[in-house]
Amino acid sequence: MSAGASMLRIVTTLGSPLFLVLGMKNSTVFESVLGVHTVGELLRHYPRRYYTRGELTNLGSLREGDHVTVLARVDLVRRIPLPPQRFGPRQGGRRERLEVIVTDGTAKLVLTFFARVTYWARELQPGRLGLFAGTVSTFRGRRQLVHPECEMLPDEAEDTRVVAELAAEYSTAMIPVYPASAKLSSWRIARVIEGILEDLDAGEDPLPADVREKYRLWPRETAIRAIHQPQERGDLEHARKRLKWDEAFVLQAALAQRRLAAAAMPAVPRPPSPDGIAAAFDASLPFTLTEGQRFVGEVIARDLSCAYPMNRLLQGEVGSGKTVVAVRAMLQVVDAGGQAALLAPTEVLAQQHYRSITQLLGPLARGGQLGGAEQATRVALLTGSTGAAARRSALSDAFTGDAGILIGTHALLEDRVQFADLGLVVIDEQHRFGVEQRDALREKAAGARPHVLVMTATPIPRTVAMTVFGDLEVSTLAELPAGRSPIATHVVPAADRPRYLERAWERIREEVADGRQAYVVCPRIGGEAPGEAAEDGADDDADSGAEGETTARRPPLAALDVAPELAEGPLSGVRVGILHGRLSPDEKDRVMTAFADGGIDVLVATTVIEVGVDVPNATTMVVMDADRFGVSALHQLRGRVGRGRAAGLCLLVTEAPEGSPARERVDAVAATLDGFRLSRLDLEQRREGDVLGATQAGRHSSLKMLRLLSDEELIAFAREEATALVAADPQLTAHVALRETIEVLLGPQRAEFLDKA
């Protein structure tokens, strides 16, 4: 039943489009369900597990709502008449349902059929083995699959020659079980892949022979065949290792090319000056720099003095003082006659940076103005909502070079923004930006490349840094400035303990009575048409498992509902404000300013406040439906309190039952303030593909087999080998197969972008 049987027998390659091999109708299903378009992509849809005949699925472990494929033996078949009154007189005849009990030897599962009862009764003979796929439901306390898809394995008892052959095949071979859905069963995928493998020529191996030999890696084609059709368990380990190497090596080779290309670019050196604005700034700082800030500062100062562009990632906990480090770098560039641009992910954050940086600089930011210092420069702000007059003067100051520092959002990327001499690009909170944006801004420097500093508060495990930010050098601010108060985090189980929630509101009233402020964070804005997604809502994908399908839950709490409820209920008399992504930039700024000035006591908000918002007087945060947020988001949110001298308190409200994965996530955030541990946890729960960020969004992820956390050693080896190979042959002229694989794996846009670098 080879799908390509009707066509000419031509060899299939990894690049063959699926429709050529499967035909239009078939390939459409595969494309829509699995998102695969080529043979290579389909062959990277790897089995989730394997069944062998002797080993039946543990039926006791099935969870309601899961879409499952199980291997089990038919135990009992019963035809049960349906009560006649449930069917109209028209129906007449005998109505019955078929109940088939299948077993793994201990636990049982019911298969229920209401149609084609006679057919299924004949197919599902007691004693026979089959694969059954469907969604697990519960009926009268028993687990069941209603109208499962069935694939009977050849009967051992029958002895016609064909069946005997098939039986022999099945009893030695392992049966692959693929991630599947109601529209596309695991065995349909298996059949198609089987057919493809018959005609496959996987082409030249992208991994050089010496690397293969050194790490004892199988040839690629052998690994591809073995992962889909292992002859024995031992095959899998070899196949997996080899396929992981492919992913790691290809990615690292691409990154090595990019690093090499970047280092070959000329940049203008911007060495520090002993008595410029940077020195004046240091002297005026109201605090002493931490050890880490000083150290990273020196590293950056050296980078900026080089004739090739800096590409550095600065990571540090929320509140670790990255902004000061960035300001010092920007001032060094200004001293050397250049300009710096600071790109922030949101309007709110850009405005806040502008406020805090002009404040930190004081007279140093009032170049050409009355009261300005001698070395002073000018700081300009440019966002989508900057008014016409202010915009004109910001654009002109950037163009003439009067503004040493330009702060803004995406608006900075527009064509009409032109710099006299852009020397440094600082990007705050990298995870919100794609690599492309980094490039767009970079291109605003005429001639030479600007230096680039990327800042992130989401700590990145080593291997992720190596993989996702593999073209950047990494620096870390490990300590928080002294005098920072710790944040206490508690879980409030709203369903079991409503009294705790009441206590949370009392606590906020007490804080407000003491002159402090609080945030109440909700996962959704509210007020949208049914089914419409909130643009700045929480990420809700963290708990969708590989196999499970999400079950219906109540919609997450909305800021627009919660705010009035609080204002009229538990927080009556307290000044409550609302902040969310659907407000106009002007309104947002007004609300943030009112909150910062103390005109609002409690701010009910969505995750718009997640990044960088700094109001030291806000000491308490209540996160509603905390389980609807990802681990990193919760950690980021929590960083908004405890920024002043008073101790911070974060209350994570959740209705998720104890022990559920959602609840465990919330518990983990409450249990530690260690961002690195949390980011590891976050990564374990998300798929690596998500980590690759905007470039990969919506695309077929380039990492299928590789696990960034557990494959740390392999990634390090692959990086070493790939870097050496690229250093010796930057254009990969002697490694055509590798070059082609990079293009296929990373997609055409990505490859183009690598060339551009």
Backbone dihedral angles phi then psi of residue 396, each to the nearest 5 degrees: -70, -40
The number of beta carbons lying within 10 Å of the beta carbon of residue 741 is 25
Closer residue to ligand ADP (CB): 450 or 612:
612
Three-class HEC string of 485-515: CCEEEEEEECCCCHHHHHHHHHHHHHHHHCC
> Which residue's entry shows tokens 């001293």?
335
Choose among 203, 256, 289, 382: nearest CA to 720.
256
Applying CB under 5 A, the span of 115-123, 159-167, 438-446, 609-617 interacting with Mg ion comes to 609-617
Closer residue to ligand ADP (CB): 320 or 385:
320
The only residue of 16, 112, 185, 293 in contact with ligand ADP, by rule CB under 6 A:
293
290 binds ligand ADP (CB under 6 A): yes
Least spacing, CB of residue 359 vs ligand ADP, in Å: 9
> How many whole angstroms separate alpha carbon 14 and alpha carbon 739?
14
339 binds ligand ADP (CB under 6 A): no
457 binds ligand ADP (CB under 6 A): yes
650 binds ligand ADP (CB under 6 A): no
The only residue of 91, 284, 287, 724 in contact with ligand ADP, by rule CB under 6 A:
287
> How many whole angstroms separate alpha carbon 596 and alpha carbon 591?
9
> Per-residue x/- marks for ligand ADP, 597-636, CB under 6 A?
---------------x-x----------------------
> How many whole angstroms separate alpha carbon 306 and alpha carbon 363?
30
Q: Which residues contact 215 (CB under 8 A, 6 or more apart)?
A: 245, 717
Q: Which DSSP state fits 308?
A: S
Is residue 494 within 8 Å of 500, Cβ to Cβ? Answer: yes
> How many whole angstroms separate alpha carbon 350 and alpha carbon 383?
8
Closer residue to ligand ADP (CB): 481 or 747:
481
User: How open is the CA angle 504-509-510, to the nearest 5 degrees?
Assistant: 95
Applying CB under 6 A, the span of 191-199, 313-321, 567-575, 681-689 interacting with ligand ADP comes to 313-321
Closer residue to Mg ion (CB): 346 or 696:
346
Q: How many residues bind ligand ADP (CB under 6 A)?
A: 16
Least spacing, CB of residue 674 vs ligand ADP, in Å: 16
Q: How many residues bind Mg ion (CB under 5 A)?
A: 1
Least spacing, CB of residue 323 vs Mg ion, in Å: 5
> Which residue's entry shows tokens 């129906």?
91
Closer residue to Mg ion (CB): 325 or 600:
325
Applying CB under 6 A, the span of 275-283, 321-329, 525-533, 732-740 interacting with ligand ADP comes to 321-329
Show the beta-strand stretches assigned E in 2-121: 49-51, 67-81, 96-103, 108-113
Q: Please state the length of the chain.
A: 757
Applying CB under 5 A, the span of 97-105, 417-425, 607-615, 641-649 interacting with Mg ion comes to 607-615
Applying CB under 6 A, the span of 188-196, 317-325, 517-525, 618-626 interacting with ligand ADP comes to 317-325
Closer residue to ligand ADP (CB): 324 or 726:
324
Closer residue to ligand ADP (CB): 184 or 457:
457
The only residue of 154, 297, 319, 450 in contact with ligand ADP, by rule CB under 6 A:
319
> How many whole angstroms separate alpha carbon 352 and alpha carbon 363?
18
Show the beta-strand stretches assigned E in 663-752: none
Name the residue whose CB lies closest to Mg ion: 612
Is residue 22 within 8 Å of 207, Cβ to Cβ? Answer: no
Handedness of CA 165, 166, 168, 173 (dihedral sign): positive
Contacts (CB under 5 A) with Mg ion, residues 428-487: none
Closer residue to ligand ADP (CB): 18 or 342:
342
Is residue 728 within 8 Å of 256, Cβ to Cβ? Answer: no
The only residue of 47, 195, 577, 612 in contact with Mg ion, by rule CB under 5 A:
612
The number of beta carbons lying within 10 Å of the beta carbon of residue 431 is 17
Choose among 29, 48, 62, 71: nearest CA to 182.
29
Show the beta-strand stretches assigned E in 317-421: 339-343, 378-382, 403-408
Beta bridge partners of 12: 200
Least spacing, CB of residue 721 vs ligand ADP, in Å: 36
Least spacing, CB of residue 287 vs ligand ADP, in Å: 4
The only residue of 289, 301, 474, 737 in contact with ligand ADP, by rule CB under 6 A:
289
The only residue of 311, 323, 332, 636 in contact with ligand ADP, by rule CB under 6 A:
323
Closer residue to ligand ADP (CB): 128 or 355:
355
Least spacing, CB of residue 311 vs Mg ion, in Å: 20
Least spacing, CB of residue 285 vs Mg ion, in Å: 17
316 binds ligand ADP (CB under 6 A): yes
Chain centroid to CA 330:
30
100 binds, among ligand ADP, Mg ion, none (CB under 5 to 8 A by kind): none
481 binds ligand ADP (CB under 6 A): yes
Quote the tokens at residue 153. 């394995």
458 binds ligand ADP (CB under 6 A): no
Handedness of CA 604, 625, 632, 252 (dihedral sign): negative
Burial letters 73-88, b for 16+ CB under 10 A, else e: bbeebeeeeeeeeeee
The footprint of ligand ADP (CB under 6 A) covers: 287, 289-290, 293, 316, 318-324, 457, 481, 612, 614
The footprint of Mg ion (CB under 5 A) covers: 612
